[in-house]
């Protein structure tokens, strides 16, 4: 994965990792590097300001899994389904939710009860109704790129993060 000429910055925390991504190509590669380690039923929260690269990470992840069509942010549709072989991925964008109850009113809670991988942008908009995350990716614009901090919040998330970190060394 191309990140920068700076050394990779894995944190000392076994439940988190931080990397600097200098450009869009590095952000796509970051998403691609996560793809092999996600498992059915995982929920990944994608957090960051507008333009921080959340959808770019998803695009890289989907491309690595073999998805060749256009990947767009589901800002207006709330959710996009991607079926790749036997794997179902739901890409959510809750930016347009005005109240957390809209999450329930739209029946979106049903998507989180199966074996699909759920990738969620703007998870805070769903409030406490959203189930607990396995992983959280926080993206922030910094210097001339992005800072990506990946944290694990479940055993499944910790296993994913550990395997991912081991592969990057």
Q: Is residue 44 part of a domain?
A: yes
Q: What pLDDT is stored for residue 45 in this prediction?
A: 97
Q: What pLDDT is stored for residue 75 in this prediction?
A: 83
The pTM score is 0.88
- Output the CA torsion 27→32→36→37 (10° steps): 10
**CA dihedral sign of residues 65, 67, 70, 76:** negative
What 3-state class would DSSP assign to 138?
strand
Q: Is residue 25 part of a domain?
A: no
Residue 12 clears pLDDT 90, i.e. is over it: no
CATH number, position 116: 3.40.50.300
Q: Output the six-digit token pair for 27.
A: 């952000």
Is there a contact between 105 and 77 (Cβ–Cβ < 8 Å)?
no
Q: Is residue 130 part of a domain?
A: yes
Q: What pLDDT is stored for residue 169 in this prediction?
A: 56
Q: What pLDDT is stored for residue 2 in this prediction?
A: 38
Residue 80 clears pLDDT 90, i.e. is over it: yes
Q: What pLDDT is stored for residue 55 in this prediction?
A: 94
Q: What pLDDT is stored for residue 39 in this prediction?
A: 94
Range(s) of the domain holding residue 112: 37-163
Is there a contact between 20 and 29 (Cβ–Cβ < 8 Å)?
no
- Regarding beta strands 87-93 and 117-121, do their DSSP bridges make them parallel or antiparallel, or are they unpaired? parallel
Q: Is residue 94 part of a domain?
A: yes
**Total number of domains constituting the chain:** 1
Q: Is residue 148 part of a domain?
A: yes
């Amino acid at each position: 994965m191309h990140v920068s000429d700076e050394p990779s910055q894995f944190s000392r925390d076994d439940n988190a990792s931080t990397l600097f991504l200098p450009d869009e190509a590095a952000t796509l590669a970051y998403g691609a590097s996560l793809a092999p380690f996600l498992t059915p039923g995982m929920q990944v929260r994608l957090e960051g300001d507008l333009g921080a690269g959340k959808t770019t990470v998803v695009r890289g992840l989907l491309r690595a899994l073999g998805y060749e069509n256009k990947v767009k942010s589901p800002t207006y549709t709330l959710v996009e389904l991607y079926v790749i072989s036997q794997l179902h991925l739901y890409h959510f964008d809750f930016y347009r939710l005005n109240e957390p109850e809209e999450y329930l009113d739209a029946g979106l809670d049903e998507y989180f009860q199966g074996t699909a991988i759920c990738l969620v942008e703007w998870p805070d908009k769903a409030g406490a109704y959203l189930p607990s995350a396995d992983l959280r990716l926080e993206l922030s614009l910094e210097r001339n790129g992005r800072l990506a901090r990946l944290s694990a919040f479940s055993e499944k998330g910790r296993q994913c993060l550990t395997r991912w970190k081991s592969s990057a060394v």
